[in-house]
Amino acid sequence: MFGLDKKDASLLLIVAVLVAFAPFLLNPFPEGSAMAQFNAGYPDLMQRFVIFGIFAIGFNILFGLTGYLSFGHAAFLGVGSYAAVWMFKLLSMNVLPAIILAVITAGIFALIIGYVSLRRSGIYFSILTLAFAQMSFALAYSVLTPITGGETGLQLALDDPRIFGSATTADGNIPVPGLFGLEMRDSMELALGGWVFTFNFGYYFCAIIMLVAFYLSIRIFRSPFGMMLRAVKSNQQRLNYTGLNPRPYTLAAFVISGMYAGLAGGLMASMDPLAGAERMFWTASGEVVLMTILGGVGTLIGPVLGAGMIKYMENIISKINSDILHGWFAFLPDGLEDLVVTMIYPFIGKGWHLTLGIVFMLVVIFLPGGLVEGGQRLARLMGRKKAEQPKSAKTEPAE
């Protein structure tokens, strides 16, 4: 199917099914229940899942295949966001031209940075990319304020000189991004008993693009180009001895990875037409590194899982406060209830980073292959238990 072997086609199909039914899967608890706090099936968060999944997929093409660790990939995310918002301001509110410009701009920016940074490898390459990203952040935050909006960010305004489409809506408001008349914020709700499921057009638009990006990453991984990138990661010195120059391959991987980041930035701006310099900060670059390592470096679906896990913790675990904890443990005696809440509270709310750090440490120590390795171990364990189950009793002849 689509030029993929059976295993890869099955993986793509599984991802497509999970993405399609995400509004149901991410809302397992009925509205109003104590566990509804853990529901993640609302449009903004689902959009973040797939957008940062694209970001992590692109980063994995560079880091997972070549072994080059970039600490400055957020620069391409920010450049893509700025390009998309400028397209909204100057051309139209249609998201397609904005996303195309975001990808092209990020690709050109990645070509320039990669051409310089890839002259070095190892930690020197990582430091160079970090330096470029921080310079980009500083330029966007102060020097290029007329272009980037500085610390307030680049936003749409009522006086934008938009070529196609009006600058304002009929009621005098700023128009919102859309696709041929369908707005990204358009949603439909389905109530089933105590559950309310939201189907958002913007989410499914991003999800389709993520599936295409995921499919392209599979083709890259299985292509001769992907094999060359693996050779670079395995032993670049031996590759040089064969007479092959690895730099064009690594530069191509860097540019492709940057274009993925630009695509994610363009989608972020399409969902919320705002671009700020904070998207270029080094913490944003570190976040995509965590996503890839948590999910599984060099795996296909791992970065998507890692992105979903971090964004879930950032948006769900961080919202749990002491009042919610007291509600959960109200059945305990007062003294014991206060003790339990006191012990748990440092790991939730504003302390969710502590929980993320512990999870990251455990994954690195016990699951070097990330969540994918954990799933593989669990599958092998279940298969072994199934194989060890006694076979049905058979009638044996008496001796």
Mean pLDDT of 344-372: 90
pLDDT band, residue 399 (cuts 50/70/90) = very low
pLDDT at 226: 93
pLDDT at 390: 58
User: Picking from 4-18, 205-219, 237-251, which range would have the lowest pLDDT averaged per residue?
Assistant: 237-251
pLDDT band, residue 319 (cuts 50/70/90) = confident
Mean pLDDT of 184-188: 89
| Contact by Cβ (8 Å): 288, 294 | no
Residue 181 or residue 123, greater confidence: 123
Mean pLDDT of 128-132: 95
**Mind listing the pLDDT tens digit for each residue in 198-222?**
999 999 999 999 999 999 999 999 9
Mean confidence (pLDDT) of the chain: 89
Mean pLDDT of 60-85: 94
pLDDT at 236: 83
- State yes or no: pLDDT of 108 exceeds 60: yes
Size (the chain), residues: 399
pLDDT band, residue 384 (cuts 50/70/90) = confident
pTM, two decimal places? 0.92
pLDDT band, residue 16 (cuts 50/70/90) = very high
pLDDT at 1: 65
- State yes or no: pLDDT of 288 exceeds 60: yes
- State yes or no: pLDDT of 395 exceeds 60: no
- State yes or no: pLDDT of 168 exceeds 80: no
